Amino acid sequence: MHGFSQHGDSWDELRSLVPGGRRWLTPDVRATTLAEAEAELLDLWEREGAERTDLVGYSQGGRIALYVAAGHPDRVRTLTTIGAHAGLEQDRAARAEADRALAGRIEREGVDWFAAYWAGLPLFAGLARRGPAFLERLDAGRRRNDPALLAAQLRGLGAAAVEPFWDRLPRIDAPALVLAGAEDERYAAFAHRLATALPRARVALVPDAGHAAHLEQPAAVAALLAGHLGLTAADPASTAAPTTPPARPSA
């Protein structure tokens, strides 16, 4: 599950680096509330015949993954979050007001203004390590967005818009890998809190990475994810499964 303003194809590089024959379902999130996102994901699993899954989510997608895993723990084989939390509790009102203001500005000024603004946030400064060509691809992806949908997702799925659900996390009994960039101090703290709330979790902080650790250091995150899933190039279990062409349906 991708982050805010991204698309399912934002996982393409990471999945190319993870060994094994797993099938990846990477939908474009259209939901504007957690309940809608849960319904989208359950519908995707139904259509694709996925009874259980290794669920991975980044930022906004991490909130969705946590929420769905708590509601349907029997459907989740493993859980991985990157730069995520289960809802803000401190300074929530101020953040919600800021997100509503940003949503209004996106509607007024459009997606091109938003793309330039979002790229300039300090939260994403570490992406510059990947060079100008990579940044251009990210920018092109942001500009593919519908400004009305972005605004609606800020108002309904934003970090402060969702009701905190930390108390639901003990329902998740799947092994969980909680990732954050080592340079993203705020989300590193959230990672440690998630690991305390989840019954079977471990934290890994990705060196030389900020908020978007899987985009900043894809090889390092792929190695961590492969280990979490028990996948290595030399592991027969990782190559015995039939290889299915990657799927990227829109949910």
Q: Which two three-digit tokens encode residue 227?
A: 């280990």
Q: Give the number of domains in the chain.
A: 1
> Alpha helix (H) ranges present in 144-234?
147-157, 185-197, 213-216, 218-229
Buried b (16+ CB within 10 A) or exposed e, 141-179: bbeebebebbbbbbbbbbbbbbeeebebbeebebbbbbb
pLDDT in tens, 75-93: 999 999 999 999 999 899 9
Percent helix, strand, coil in the chain, to 5, is 55, 10, 35
Q: State how far the Cα of 165 lies from the Cα of 161, in Å rounded to an integer.
A: 12
* 90-129 pLDDT tens trace: 899 999 999 999 999 999 999 999 999 999 999 999 999 9
We report the CATH number of the domain holding residue 203 as: 3.40.50.1820
Distance in angstroms (rounded) separating the CA atoms of residues 22 and 238:
8
At 200-220, the pLDDT tens digits run 999 999 999 999 999 999 999
Q: Whole domain around residue 75: which residue ranges? A: 1-251
